[in-house]
Amino acid sequence: MRTVARADADLPDIFNQRIQLAKNEWKWGHLNNNALIFLCCLAKAGFSPILEFGTFTGRTAYNLALNAATKVYTVDIGRNVDACSNAAGVTYPEYIPGELFLDDPELGDKIELIVGDSMTLDFSRFYGAMGMVIVDGGHSMRWPNRIPRMLFAWFGLEA
Ligand SMILES: C[S@@+](CC[C@H](N)C(=O)[O-])C[C@H]1O[C@@H](n2cnc3c(N)ncnc32)[C@H](O)[C@@H]1O
Protein backbone atom coordinates (compact mmCIF):
# COMPACT_ATOMS: atom_id res chain seq x y z
CA MET A 1 0.00 0.00 0.00
CA ARG A 2 1.21 3.53 -0.79
CA THR A 3 0.32 6.48 1.42
CA VAL A 4 -0.34 9.72 -0.44
CA ALA A 5 -1.11 13.16 0.93
CA ARG A 6 -3.68 13.95 -1.77
CA ALA A 7 -5.27 11.08 -3.65
CA ASP A 8 -6.64 13.41 -6.36
CA ALA A 9 -3.07 14.53 -7.17
CA ASP A 10 -1.79 10.96 -7.20
CA LEU A 11 -4.58 9.67 -9.47
CA PRO A 12 -4.63 12.20 -12.33
CA ASP A 13 -7.59 10.63 -14.17
CA ILE A 14 -9.72 10.10 -11.13
CA PHE A 15 -12.26 12.81 -11.98
CA ASN A 16 -12.86 11.33 -15.45
CA GLN A 17 -15.06 8.53 -14.12
CA ARG A 18 -18.65 8.34 -15.41
CA ILE A 19 -20.33 8.38 -12.04
CA GLN A 20 -24.01 8.36 -11.13
CA LEU A 21 -25.48 10.52 -8.37
CA ALA A 22 -28.97 10.48 -6.84
CA LYS A 23 -30.84 11.42 -3.64
CA ASN A 24 -28.49 14.36 -3.22
CA GLU A 25 -30.50 16.76 -1.15
CA TRP A 26 -27.99 18.11 1.42
CA LYS A 27 -28.56 18.59 5.13
CA TRP A 28 -26.27 19.40 8.02
CA GLY A 29 -24.21 16.28 8.80
CA HIS A 30 -23.81 15.12 5.17
CA LEU A 31 -20.47 15.21 3.37
CA ASN A 32 -20.09 18.19 1.08
CA ASN A 33 -20.72 17.62 -2.62
CA ASN A 34 -17.08 17.83 -3.71
CA ALA A 35 -16.09 15.11 -1.25
CA LEU A 36 -19.07 12.99 -2.32
CA ILE A 37 -18.12 13.25 -6.00
CA PHE A 38 -14.50 12.40 -5.25
CA LEU A 39 -15.44 9.31 -3.24
CA CYS A 40 -17.85 8.18 -5.97
CA CYS A 41 -15.04 8.57 -8.54
CA LEU A 42 -12.80 6.38 -6.37
CA ALA A 43 -15.60 3.82 -6.05
CA LYS A 44 -16.17 3.82 -9.81
CA ALA A 45 -12.41 3.46 -10.41
CA GLY A 46 -12.45 0.19 -8.47
CA PHE A 47 -11.69 1.11 -4.86
CA SER A 48 -14.15 -1.30 -3.27
CA PRO A 49 -15.50 -3.05 -1.21
CA ILE A 50 -16.06 0.02 0.93
CA LEU A 51 -16.39 0.44 4.68
CA GLU A 52 -17.86 3.76 5.82
CA PHE A 53 -17.90 4.96 9.42
CA GLY A 54 -20.87 7.25 9.98
CA THR A 55 -23.94 6.37 7.89
CA PHE A 56 -26.27 9.17 9.03
CA THR A 57 -29.15 9.15 6.50
CA GLY A 58 -27.15 7.04 4.04
CA ARG A 59 -26.59 9.70 1.37
CA THR A 60 -22.92 8.81 0.86
CA ALA A 61 -23.45 5.05 1.21
CA TYR A 62 -26.26 5.17 -1.36
CA ASN A 63 -24.18 7.07 -3.90
CA LEU A 64 -21.14 4.86 -3.32
CA ALA A 65 -23.31 1.81 -3.96
CA LEU A 66 -24.51 3.36 -7.23
CA ASN A 67 -20.91 3.50 -8.40
CA ALA A 68 -19.04 0.61 -6.76
CA ALA A 69 -18.79 -2.82 -8.34
CA THR A 70 -18.89 -4.54 -4.96
CA LYS A 71 -20.50 -4.09 -1.57
CA VAL A 72 -20.70 -1.05 0.70
CA TYR A 73 -20.63 -1.62 4.49
CA THR A 74 -21.65 1.34 6.62
CA VAL A 75 -21.58 1.73 10.41
CA ASP A 76 -23.69 4.04 12.55
CA ILE A 77 -24.42 4.32 16.24
CA GLY A 78 -28.07 4.96 15.40
CA ARG A 79 -28.75 8.02 17.48
CA ASN A 80 -27.64 11.61 17.88
CA VAL A 81 -24.54 11.42 20.07
CA ASP A 82 -22.33 13.89 18.28
CA ALA A 83 -23.99 17.14 19.30
CA CYS A 84 -21.07 19.03 20.76
CA SER A 85 -18.17 17.06 19.36
CA ASN A 86 -18.19 18.23 15.73
CA ALA A 87 -16.20 21.35 14.91
CA ALA A 88 -19.23 23.63 14.76
CA GLY A 89 -20.87 22.19 17.88
CA VAL A 90 -24.12 21.76 15.96
CA THR A 91 -26.37 18.78 16.48
CA TYR A 92 -27.48 16.67 13.49
CA PRO A 93 -31.13 16.65 12.46
CA GLU A 94 -33.14 13.64 13.65
CA TYR A 95 -32.43 10.68 11.39
CA ILE A 96 -32.92 6.98 10.87
CA PRO A 97 -29.58 5.39 9.97
CA GLY A 98 -29.59 4.54 6.27
CA GLU A 99 -33.10 5.88 5.69
CA LEU A 100 -32.22 6.78 2.08
CA PHE A 101 -31.44 3.20 1.09
CA LEU A 102 -33.27 0.96 3.57
CA ASP A 103 -36.27 0.35 1.32
CA ASP A 104 -34.53 0.78 -2.01
CA PRO A 105 -35.32 -2.29 -4.14
CA GLU A 106 -32.24 -1.92 -6.35
CA LEU A 107 -29.48 -0.95 -3.96
CA GLY A 108 -30.70 -2.14 -0.56
CA ASP A 109 -28.97 -5.50 -0.99
CA LYS A 110 -25.72 -3.89 -2.04
CA ILE A 111 -25.39 -1.99 1.24
CA GLU A 112 -24.96 -3.62 4.66
CA LEU A 113 -25.90 -1.35 7.55
CA ILE A 114 -24.15 -2.16 10.82
CA VAL A 115 -25.74 -0.41 13.81
CA GLY A 116 -23.44 -0.01 16.81
CA ASP A 117 -20.67 2.00 18.41
CA SER A 118 -17.58 2.04 16.20
CA MET A 119 -15.46 2.38 19.34
CA THR A 120 -16.37 -1.11 20.45
CA LEU A 121 -17.60 -3.10 17.42
CA ASP A 122 -15.42 -5.94 16.14
CA PHE A 123 -14.30 -5.20 12.56
CA SER A 124 -11.96 -8.17 12.16
CA ARG A 125 -14.04 -9.70 9.34
CA PHE A 126 -13.05 -6.72 7.18
CA TYR A 127 -9.31 -6.94 7.77
CA GLY A 128 -7.35 -7.21 4.54
CA ALA A 129 -10.54 -7.14 2.47
CA MET A 130 -11.38 -3.48 1.91
CA GLY A 131 -10.67 -1.30 -1.13
CA MET A 132 -11.67 1.92 0.62
CA VAL A 133 -12.36 2.90 4.24
CA ILE A 134 -14.10 6.23 4.93
CA VAL A 135 -13.88 7.65 8.44
CA ASP A 136 -16.77 10.07 8.95
CA GLY A 137 -18.35 8.79 12.15
CA GLY A 138 -17.90 9.82 15.75
CA HIS A 139 -15.89 12.95 16.35
CA SER A 140 -14.90 12.03 19.90
CA MET A 141 -11.21 12.53 20.67
CA ARG A 142 -11.08 8.90 21.83
CA TRP A 143 -11.76 7.67 18.30
CA PRO A 144 -8.55 8.80 16.50
CA ASN A 145 -6.50 6.55 18.77
CA ARG A 146 -8.23 3.50 17.34
CA ILE A 147 -7.97 4.48 13.66
CA PRO A 148 -4.29 3.86 12.74
CA ARG A 149 -4.27 0.36 14.23
CA MET A 150 -7.45 -0.61 12.38
CA LEU A 151 -6.35 0.95 9.08
CA PHE A 152 -3.23 -1.20 9.08
CA ALA A 153 -5.32 -4.27 9.68
CA TRP A 154 -7.95 -3.42 7.05
CA PHE A 155 -5.35 -3.12 4.35
CA GLY A 156 -3.52 -6.24 5.46
CA LEU A 157 -0.37 -4.55 6.83
CA GLU A 158 1.59 -5.12 10.00
CA ALA A 159 1.11 -2.38 12.64
C1 LIG B 1 -20.92 13.27 9.84
S2 LIG B 1 -22.21 12.11 10.07
C3 LIG B 1 -21.94 10.98 8.73
C4 LIG B 1 -22.36 11.53 7.39
C5 LIG B 1 -22.32 10.51 6.28
N6 LIG B 1 -21.03 9.85 6.15
C7 LIG B 1 -22.67 11.22 4.98
O8 LIG B 1 -21.74 11.53 4.22
O9 LIG B 1 -23.85 11.47 4.74
C10 LIG B 1 -21.60 11.16 11.43
C11 LIG B 1 -22.47 9.97 11.81
O12 LIG B 1 -21.72 9.13 12.67
C13 LIG B 1 -22.55 8.72 13.75
N14 LIG B 1 -21.70 8.39 14.92
C15 LIG B 1 -21.25 9.21 15.89
N16 LIG B 1 -20.52 8.53 16.80
C17 LIG B 1 -20.49 7.26 16.37
C18 LIG B 1 -19.90 6.08 16.89
N19 LIG B 1 -19.19 6.07 18.01
N20 LIG B 1 -20.09 4.90 16.19
C21 LIG B 1 -20.80 4.88 15.05
N22 LIG B 1 -21.39 5.99 14.51
C23 LIG B 1 -21.24 7.16 15.16
C24 LIG B 1 -23.43 9.94 13.99
O25 LIG B 1 -24.57 9.61 14.76
C26 LIG B 1 -23.74 10.37 12.55
O27 LIG B 1 -24.85 9.68 12.03
Sheet bearing 72-76, strands edge to edge: 111-115, 72-76, 50-53, 132-135
Q: Which atom of ligand 1 is nearest to the CA of 36?
A: 8
Q: Is residue 28 part of a domain?
A: no
Q: Which domain holds residue 43?
A: 33-138
Pocket lining: 136 vs ligand 1, CB cutoff 6 Å: yes
Angle (CA) 72 78 80, round 5°: 125
Q: Is residue 25 part of a domain?
A: no
Q: Is residue 155 part of a domain?
A: no
Between these two residues, 145 and 91, which has the higher pLDDT value? 91
Tens digit of each residue's pLDDT (9 = 90 or more) over 90-104 = 778 889 999 999 999
Q: How many domains does the chain have?
A: 1
Query: How far is residue 73's CA from residue 54's CA, in Å, rounded to a whole number?
Result: 10
Q: What would the mean pLDDT of 142-155 be, rounded to a whole number?
A: 59
Q: Is residue 101 part of a domain?
A: yes
Q: Is residue 151 part of a domain?
A: no
Pocket lining: 30 vs ligand 1, CB cutoff 6 Å: yes
For residue 113, the cross-strand partners are 74
Instruction: Say which CATH number the domain at 61 has.
Output: 3.40.50.150
Query: How far is residue 61's CA from residue 157's CA, in Å, rounded to a whole number?
Result: 26
Q: Is residue 15 part of a domain?
A: no
Q: Is residue 147 part of a domain?
A: no
Query: How far is residue 31's CA from residue 19's CA, in Å, rounded to a whole number?
Result: 17
Mean pLDDT score of the chain: 85
Q: Which atom of ligand 1 is nearest to the CA of 119?
A: 19
How much distance in Å is there from the Cα of 129 to the middle of ligand 1? 22
Tens digit of each residue's pLDDT (9 = 90 or more) over 24-65 = 999 988 999 999 999 999 999 999 999 999 999 999 999 999
Q: Is residue 53 part of a domain?
A: yes
Q: Report whether 41 contacts 34 (CB < 8 A).
A: no
Q: What's the pTM value of the predicted model, to 2 decimals?
A: 0.88
Between these two residues, 125 and 153, which has the higher pLDDT value? 125
How much distance in Å is there from the Cα of 45 to the middle of ligand 1? 25
